[in-house]
């Protein structure tokens, strides 16, 4: 069944399958070492779990039969990252906690919920307070050169794709002190070079995931966008909503100097 409340489970889960990389890392932070029995191939953190835990496929290509063999007493999934049809099949046979995270507030609520579900609430609450403290130390207004605040964040190539206002990445962009050029769009719209120019973008952020942008892509785009500053950014720091948020806050605090120094060096 798809659980509707953290109070639905009448037992402490001992066989957990996680279908979301950032939530897998959260389970590790909560100390659920033995309880977590299955993860996806994209769950790269922590490294020892990636090497040793059973892989149940990709986030959108779940091996349902393998999960049946693992016989979990809790599956943790996500509305955006997993496929609705597969989650519905699993929900007919196993308890599934389906998260929906679109901003920092909802990320903290998710951490609290998973803490309650797994009976790790004290650790989860400590983590939440640490994350809140770290994000509270991000300077406002931002120290980023005001001429560069209007930015576009690319997540994909061929076609180029960016993020709208109803995404977790957009919230991280905002918390970093930047203005998303495509905040008037929803989810992950496709766009063209002409669209980037039309929105008066001054700063182009190329994410390391899901598409692995590299220096060669900066070179390609710079030729088409000569007046725009283009840099690579760590996608995990903008899109992982779990214990990685502790590192994300520090990353976002350091981003202004990286952007400003890059501009000066140019």
Rounded to the nearest integer, the mean pLDDT of the chain is 94
Secondary structure element (H or E) that encloses residue 122, with its range: helix 121-136
Q: In the prediction, which pLDDT does 6 show?
A: 87
248 backbone dihedrals φ, ψ, rounded to 5°: -60, -40
pLDDT tens-digit profile of 193-226? 999 999 999 999 999 999 999 999 999 999 999 9
- Superfamily of domain 16-136 in the CATH hierarchy: Nitrogenase molybdenum iron protein domain (3.40.50.1980)
pLDDT band at 41 (very low <50, low <70, confident <90, very high): very high
Cβ–Cβ under 8 Å, residues 209 and 224: no
- β-strand partners of 75: 17, 96
Residues of the chain with CATH 3.40.50.1980: 16-136, 146-265
pTM tops 0.75:
yes
pLDDT tens-digit profile of 115-140? 999 999 999 999 999 999 999 999 87
Secondary structure element (H or E) that encloses residue 175, with its range: helix 168-175
List all residues 6 or more positions away from 77 whose beta carbon is below 8 Å from its beta carbon.
19, 20, 87, 90, 96, 97, 98, 99
Q: In the prediction, which pLDDT does 264 show?
A: 41
Residue 265 has pLDDT above 60, yes or no: no
Q: In the prediction, which pLDDT does 139 show?
A: 83
pLDDT band at 262 (very low <50, low <70, confident <90, very high): low
CATH class of the domain defined by 146-265: alpha beta
Higher pLDDT, 139 or 232: 232
Cβ–Cβ under 8 Å, residues 144 and 255: yes
């Amino acid at each position: 069944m798809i659980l509707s409340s953290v109070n639905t489970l009448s037992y402490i889960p001992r066989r957990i399958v996680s279908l979301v990389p950032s939530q897998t890392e959260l389970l590790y932070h909560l100390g659920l070492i033995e309880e977590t029995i299955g993860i996806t191939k994209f769950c790269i953190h922590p490294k020892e779990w990636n090497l040793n835990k059973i892989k149940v496929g990709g986030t959108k290509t779940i091996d349902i039969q393998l999960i049946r063999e693992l016989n979990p007493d809790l599956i943790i999934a996500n509305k955006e990252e997993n496929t609705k049809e597969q989650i519905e099949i699993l929900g007919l046979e196993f308890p599934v906690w389906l998260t929906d995270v679109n901003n920092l507030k909802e990320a903290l609520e998710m951490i609290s919920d998973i803490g309650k579900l797994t009976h790790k609430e004290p650790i989860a609450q400590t983590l939440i307070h640490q994350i809140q403290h770290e994000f509270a130390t991000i300077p406002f207004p931002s120290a980023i050169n005001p001429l560069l605040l209007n930015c576009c964040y690319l997540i994909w190539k061929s076609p180029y794709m960016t993020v709208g206002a109803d995404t977790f990445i957009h919230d991280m962009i905002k918390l970093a002190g930047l203005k998303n050029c495509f905040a008037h769009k929803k989810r992950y719209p496709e766009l063209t070079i002409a669209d980037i120019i039309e929105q008066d973008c001054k700063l182009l952020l190329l994410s390391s995931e899901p598409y692995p942008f590299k220096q060669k892509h900066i070179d390609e785009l710079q030729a088409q966008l000569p007046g725009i500053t283009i840099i690579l950014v760590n996608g995990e720091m903008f899109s992982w909503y779990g214990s990685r948020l502790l590192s994300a806050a520090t990353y976002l605090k350091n981003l202004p100097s990286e952007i400003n120094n890059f501009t000066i060096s140019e």
